[in-house]
Amino acid sequence: MRAVDGPVIVGVDGSESSLWAADEAALREVPLHVVYASLWERYEQAVFPAAPGPSEQILTAVLVVAAAKRARQRVPGTDVTTEVVPEGPVSVLLGAARKASVLVIGSRGRGSAAELLLGSVGLAVAGRADGAVIVVRGDHADRTGPRSRERRVVVGVPDKPADSVAVRFAFREAARRGVPLEAVRAWCLPADEATDHAPFTGEPVEVHRQRAVEALETGLREPAGELPGVEVRRRVVEGPARAALLDASADAALLVVGARHHHGRFGPRIGRVTHAVLHHAACPVAVVPERG
């Protein structure tokens, strides 16, 4: 079981994720631990081949030292430690997620093709981690600017909303940041009812919408009672969940999604909604494993 008050751990990958992680550590009043898996470059090159670059030893020194320095400058007084582990990045970061209050990783690898997609390491870790993983996406550099106070935390309320770990996590994040929480519940007509005459061929459209409203309220009831100071904005949207969440991410501080890890032919994998927001969200995404 990971420690709730453990450090914020950031996996260094050459991106600016250490700055975001430094802010997270300050918010939680915990230390920041910068970790680099020294076989990361070899792993990324195997998935996204690119032209030869600096040696692993030079790259390691530059990445780790620079990341720690930026973090200390970002939040003076934060306890920042570093670690280089001579192992593959996925196993290192999965282990780190068990010890961290939250694991922070960048959204891109360093290969040429990886610049267009979530890095292979990030996708593997988000799909398998036992703890919360924040993937830094979007324009996060100005999160301490004046507009950051106007932003909100967005959470997708899942199909099984009762006692959702992700929803509780989102409430705590909104409370930490002092911003509203926007709870999104998407709904669609079943395929056999999605016709021009749906109200006559199946249950009325309003019935499906009302079920979504009830699921939303079920998911919010207990967390709202525990943190009554959080302003909650409810949003029920007809259409695919991934489209609703991507739209909501446009001006959000953080998007929170729950993940139920599925075991497919090639091992654990994440669902389509989580996969979509990790690749295309306009803000950082927190992936929180649900129970069961």
Q: What is the CATH number of the domain that holds 94?
A: 3.40.50.620
Mark whether 280 and 159 lie in a shared domain: yes
Mark whether 182 and 220 lie in a shared domain: yes
> Which pLDDT does position 65 carry in this prediction?
87
Mark whether 123 and 163 lie in a shared domain: no
Q: Which residues contact 15 (CB under 8 A, 6 or more apart)?
A: 106, 107, 108, 136
Structure tokens of 209? 């919408």
The b-or-e profile of 3-14 (16+ CB within 10 A means b, else e) is eeebbbbbbbbb
Query: Could you read off the pLDDT of 106-153 as tens digits, one per residue?
Result: 876 544 333 334 567 888 898 889 999 999 986 554 454 434 545 899
- Report the C-alpha gap between 111 and 52 in whole angstroms: 10
112, 136, 160 - which closes a domain: 136
Mark whether 169 and 194 lie in a shared domain: yes
Mark whether 160 and 122 lie in a shared domain: no
Q: How confident is the model at residue 25 (pLDDT cuts 50, 70, 90)?
A: very high
84, 103, 136 - which closes a domain: 136
- Residues of the chain above pLDDT 70, percent: 74
Structure tokens of 70? 């930026």
- Report the C-alpha gap between 201 and 192 in whole angstroms: 9
Q: What CATH code is carried by the domain that includes residue 236?
A: 3.40.50.12370
Mark whether 271 and 154 lie in a shared domain: yes
Q: How many domains does the chain have?
A: 2
Find residue 103's DSSP bridge partners: 9, 133
80, 106, 136 - which closes a domain: 136
What's the domain range around 88?
A: 8-136
- C-alpha distances out from residue 119 to 85, 99, 129, 157, Å: 19, 23, 15, 26
Mark whether 126 and 170 lie in a shared domain: no
Mark whether 197 and 167 lie in a shared domain: yes
Mark whether 113 and 184 lie in a shared domain: no
Question: Is 2 within the bounds of a domain?
Answer: no
Mark whether 126 and 200 lie in a shared domain: no
**Directed axis angle between helix 241-248 and helix 272-280, to 10°?**
30
Mark whether 281 and 151 lie in a shared domain: yes
Question: Is 141 within the bounds of a domain?
Answer: no
Q: 280 or 112: whose pLDDT is higher?
A: 280
For 120-240, where are the E strands, in sequence order?
Answer: 133-136, 153-156, 181-187, 232-238
Mark whether 131 and 164 lie in a shared domain: no
Tell if the pTM clears 0.95, that is, is over it: no
Is 86 a residue whose pLDDT tops 80? yes
- Report the C-alpha gap between 18 and 34 in whole angstroms: 8
- Report the C-alpha gap between 66 and 62 in whole angstroms: 6
Q: If you search the block for the tokens 């997270």, which residue do you land on?
A: 24
Q: Which of 72, 85, 118, 75 is nearest to 11 (CA)?
A: 85
- Report the C-alpha gap between 189 and 200 in whole angstroms: 13
